[in-house]
Amino acid sequence: MRGTGALDPMDYDDGVVPGQIVLHILHLRDLGAKEETTAGLLLRWGYGSAFGVLHVLLRKRLQEPWATTAFGAALMSMTMTMFPLLGHTPPPWRWPLPLLATCVGTHLAYVTAGAIADDRLMKVLH
């Protein structure tokens, strides 16, 4: 996936694939890379917020680190199933190793940041 350009996407989530998924779900035609990137940004902000709420709900039912573990497992399961099914990427076991490492690393960072933010918010509210 990574080409020679400095602005090439590092993984499928960083490119036009999320936008293609949005267009596929909404049954819209291909609009081009710029519009697919915009649709992908809208998707990431939407599902990022939804997953943030999911972590809050999981923390109400599970103790840490189980809430964050379930949160991360749900996020990775969605990524590794929806990209091949709706984004027409290869299955994860066929992703180039650097792409897979970037995907796991960025999602791990997101899950960790979400858990820390949720923990601090809970401490402030209680």
Over residues 36-47, the mean pLDDT reads 76
Cut 0.85: pTM above it: no
Q: What percent of the chain has pLDDT over 90?
A: 29
Question: What pLDDT shows up at residue 91?
Answer: 94
Over residues 53-74, the mean pLDDT reads 91
What are the pLDDT digits (tens) for 79-122? 899 889 888 889 999 999 999 999 999 999 989 988 888 888 77
pLDDT at 6 exceeding the cut of 90: no
**CA-wise closest residue to 25 among 117, 103, 87, 104:** 87
Over residues 32-59, the mean pLDDT reads 79
Tokens of residue 13, six digits: 């989530």
Give, in order, the Cα–Cα distances in Å from 58 to each of 53, 100, 114.
9, 26, 12
Q: What are phi and psi of 105, to 5 degrees?
A: -65, -45
